[in-house]
Structure 1
Amino acid sequence: MKLSLEYKIREPKVILNKNPLLLLLHGYGSNEADLFSFAPELPAEYFVISARAPYDLQYGSYAWYAINFDADQNKFSDNDQARISRDLISNFIDELVANYPIDANDVNLLGFSQGSILSYAVALSYPEKINKVIAMSGYVNLDIITDDYLKNNLSKLKVFASHGTVDQVIPIEWARKTPGILEKLGIAITYKEYPVGHGVAPQNFYDLKNWLSPLTPEGETKTE
């Protein structure tokens, strides 16, 4: 099915009347196959869809927005491109809900690095579309959120944020500001750190899976 973004899909193994969606958003210089490697391990009731970012960096690498360097090697983000990608993702969610039997009230985002930054931006800009956010190795960039986001009802959002303590790409200090920002907005957040660099530790993956679908004491996935 041709939609506005290229994507990979794992259909739910447990078919409900309408199934929840977990939309995966990769990091800078990666592609839709990267996070999709998690798909076999993710809860069976979800549509797992991994989207490809729109900006082609060549050789199978893509970005949600450009990262530029000035003469002093200071790094800065192209916020205009980031805002365009924010709205592309929002529209892509609408397309997915229109084309698959997805529960529009149970749309969830899982982002890594740049994909995590975009996940926050989409959720805060369009909270009526998003249920949960899993944000790994990212941070909240308030400059790419819609201007009137403080008028939004953010009370439904739930966030699982994680970061490596020795992340050499996005400083841990940036991530540590996130809980305070979100709590001030009344958003429930679980924040965890792991002794790794810019990547996903096995314990991190276990924790996010458990947060997404809590386990019973016997180790079985809880069903409502």
Structure 2
Amino acid sequence: MSSNRALKAVATGASLSGSDVVVLALHGYGSNERDLVGLLDALALDLPWASLRAPVDTPNGGAAWFPISTPGNPEAAPVLQATEMIWAWVDEHLAEGTRVLPIGFSQGGLMATQLLRTRPERVVAPVVLGGFVLGAVQAGDDELAAGRPRLFWGRGADDAVITADAVVRTTDWVERHVSAATHVYPGLAHGISAQEVADVRTFVRTVVASVG
């Protein structure tokens, strides 16, 4: 696998600088920046968005946020590097006062939590779909534990990709750091269901309506 120097993105036609909140879509392993565009269309959130391509090229022509070493328990260094690259993209393309609302699937779900855990003040209510958290303590964890911001965590009851250890670790972190809307969908494997899309839509619209 090789790492690109800067992140690429596909974005909505709306101005990224014309809103207080911009959605960031973060795809899963081996996918690309267009993978979650259909999800964003289905959510119909009426917010500008950008869907980012992860920095690590995979053999199938897709991309990853970090290499897979131990499934469900990645090494911290490449995750932190990818986190810094997302923030570099944000700093370059969004106004200083703009907050991001990350929606991530699988590896992208982990990256959504990384944004919250590294710059809590810049993030609104991450949406984690079939994802998990990094085991290493992050700079914003104490602030999160004190403030308990909102977060959506949805996963399939039949998901065989995210390991049981990763689910336990994430459950523990969620209970100690955020105010979570947690949904476990019966019969769903490693994917996103129509019911989950509806739940995310309701969650995000409620959160955005309360952002001052």
Q: Settle same-fold status: TM greater than 0.5.
A: yes
1:138–1:75 CA distance, 2 compared to 1 (3 A): closer
Q: Structure 2: any 5+ residue segments left out of the alignment?
A: none
1:127-166 residue CA offsets vs partner (Å, 9 max, x unmatched): 01101100011112132x53x4344356263100011111
- Higher fraction of helix: 2
CA contact (8 A) 1:125 1:152 kept: no
Matched, 1:131 2:133: no
CA contact (8 A) 1:20 1:45 kept: no
Matched, 1:200 2:192: yes
Q: Which residue of 1 aligns with 2:74?
A: 77
Number of residues of Structure 1 aligned to a counterpart in Structure 2: 205
Which residue identity is paired with 1:8? V
Matched, 1:190 2:190: no
Matched, 1:52 2:49: no
Give secondary structure in 1 for the equivalent of 2:58: strand
Q: Structure 1: any 5+ residue segments left out of the alignment?
A: 215-221
CA contact (8 A) 2:105 2:130 kept: yes
Give the Cα separation in 2 of the matches to 1:114 and 1:35: 13
Which residue identity is paired with 1:193? V
Q: Give the Å deviation of 1:12.
A: 4.0
Q: Give the Å deviation of 1:81.
A: 1.1
1:88-145 residue CA offsets vs partner (Å, 9 max, x unmatched): 11222222214xxx961x41000000010111122111101101100011112132x5
Give the Cα separation in 1 of the matches to 2:10 and 2:130: 22
CA RMSD of aligned residues (A): 3.0
Q: Which one scores higher on RCO, CA 8 angstroms, separation ≥ 6?
A: 2
Which residue identity is paired with 1:61? G
- Higher fraction of strand: 1
Give the Cα separation in 2 of the matches to 1:223 and 1:132: 11
1:163-222 residue CA offsets vs partner (Å, 9 max, x unmatched): 11111110356335534422322x2110001121100011111110111114xxxxxxx7
Q: Return the TM-score normalized by structure 1.
A: 0.79
Which residue identity is paired with 1:141? L
1:35-67 residue CA offsets vs partner (Å, 9 max, x unmatched): 112232233531121000001113421010001
Which moves more between the two structures, 175-184 or 106-115? 175-184
Q: Which residue of 2 aligns with 1:116?
A: 109
Give the Cα separation in 2 of the matches to 1:123 and 1:157: 9
Q: Which residue of 2 aligns with 1:217?
A: none
Give secondary structure in 2 for the equivalent of 1:34: coil
Matched, 1:95 2:92: yes
Give the Cα separation in 2 of the matches to 1:16 and 1:61: 29
CA contact (8 A) 1:8 1:33 kept: yes
